[in-house]
Amino acid sequence: MKFKLFTILLLFAAQMCIAQVVTGKIIFNTYGVSKVEVINATTRTLTVSDDNGDFSIAAKLNEELVFVSKDHNFKKIKVTADIINTNNVVIDIALIPEELKEVVVSNTPSVKLSGDRSWERGKVDTYALDKSTSALKVTGVNMGTTAGIDFARLGGKLIDLFKKNKKPRQEELPLSNFQEFAKASCSTSYFTKTLNLKPEEVMLFLEFCETDDESLEILNTNNKLSTMDFLYKKSLEFKKQ
């Protein structure tokens, strides 16, 4: 009897050491999500969810599965005995919130009247020029003045306005180190929410990563997935300090 019990336990332990095929479904608001990368962080194997959000990947007990999507938050789970036995895990992921760009609203400057006729005329011309360039309407050809506006005089102002608004072309500077590359590859929320770093710790963390020779390999490969995997691994080391 004892021999049979020992044999059963031995077979059970062997089964846990052998990789199983874990299947499941990735959803958002009860709908399947396609093209989500499912990565076994231990064996570095990868698969992608189909049009219905279904996936299958080889994994053993206590290995970690990572789910990566450009439109959804990063998520990871640990393979448990229940997941292996059920073999129908449901992964619920959330959308990455969009950051709203700052909008600056300014009032139209008023026309100041003064005793200086030339200064007053210049302000009126500038105001009329701004109005005309913001809403162009071609109604005919007139070489003189229209509605009190001398277009011959405004010609020089129009050229100056275009020169003022023309900005020099800025060439894109290449990334010089791993810190800049990591910040360009990952959003701020990835560092603060996914890696659970404080905002003031981010720069110190990136300097910590840069001391690892592997950061040079990551920089040369220019691969977002490898970068996120490396940052996640280094964050665990960083928090142990």
pLDDT-based confidence at residue 39 (cuts at 50, 70, 90): very high
pLDDT-based confidence at residue 63 (cuts at 50, 70, 90): very high
Q: Evaluate whether 93 touches 72 at the Cβ level (below 8 Å).
A: yes
Region class of 166: left (phi > 0), else alpha (psi between -120 and 50), else beta: beta
Q: Is the pLDDT of residue 203 over 70?
A: yes
pLDDT for 160 equals: 61
Residues 153 and 192 in one domain: no
pLDDT for 98 equals: 72
Number of domains the chain contains: 3
Rounded to whole angstroms, the Cα distance separating 96 from 128 reads: 45
- From first CA to last CA, the distance across the chain in angstroms is 50
Residues 226 and 187 in one domain: yes
Q: Would you state the torsion angle of the CA atoms of residues 33, 34, 35, 37, taken in this order, to the nearest 10 degrees?
A: 50
Residues 21 and 84 in one domain: yes
Q: Provide the domain limits for residue 153.
A: 118-135+149-164
pLDDT for 62 equals: 92
Report if residue 10 sits inside a domain: no
Query: What Cα–Cα distance (Å) separates residue 111 from each residue in 90, 129, 133?
Result: 65, 13, 17
Residues 53 and 76 in one domain: yes
pLDDT, tens digit, 9 for 90 and up, residues 140-187: 545 444 445 555 555 665 556 555 555 544 444 344 588 888 888 898
Please state the rounded mean pLDDT for residues 219-228.
Answer: 87
Q: Would you state the torsion angle of the CA atoms of residues 208, 209, 211, 215, taken in this order, to the nearest 10 degrees?
A: -170
Report if residue 234 sits inside a domain: yes
Residues 190 and 160 in one domain: no
pLDDT for 221 equals: 85
3-state secondary structure of 134: helix
Q: Would you state the torsion angle of the CA atoms of residues 197, 199, 203, 204, taken in this order, to the nearest 10 degrees?
A: -50
**Within 10 Å of residue 179's Cβ, how many Cβ atoms?**
18
pLDDT for 101 equals: 56
Those residues whose C-beta lies under 8 Å from the C-beta of residue 80, and which sit 6 or more positions away, are: 61, 62
At 24, which CATH number?
Answer: 2.60.40.10
Residues 39 and 79 in one domain: yes
Residues 34 and 86 in one domain: yes
pLDDT-based confidence at residue 34 (cuts at 50, 70, 90): very high
Please state the rounded mean pLDDT for residues 110-130.
Answer: 58
Report if residue 7 sits inside a domain: no
Residues 19 and 70 in one domain: yes
Residues 129 and 192 in one domain: no
64 DSSP β-pair partners: 78
Report if residue 1 sits inside a domain: no
Rounded to whole angstroms, the Cα distance separating 76 from 64 reads: 7
Residues 73 and 129 in one domain: no
Report if residue 100 sits inside a domain: no
Report if residue 105 sits inside a domain: no
Report if residue 109 sits inside a domain: no
Q: Provide the H-helix boundaries in 1-108.
A: 2-17, 81-86
Residues 33 and 84 in one domain: yes
Please state the rounded mean pLDDT for residues 104-117.
Answer: 53
Report if residue 188 sits inside a domain: yes
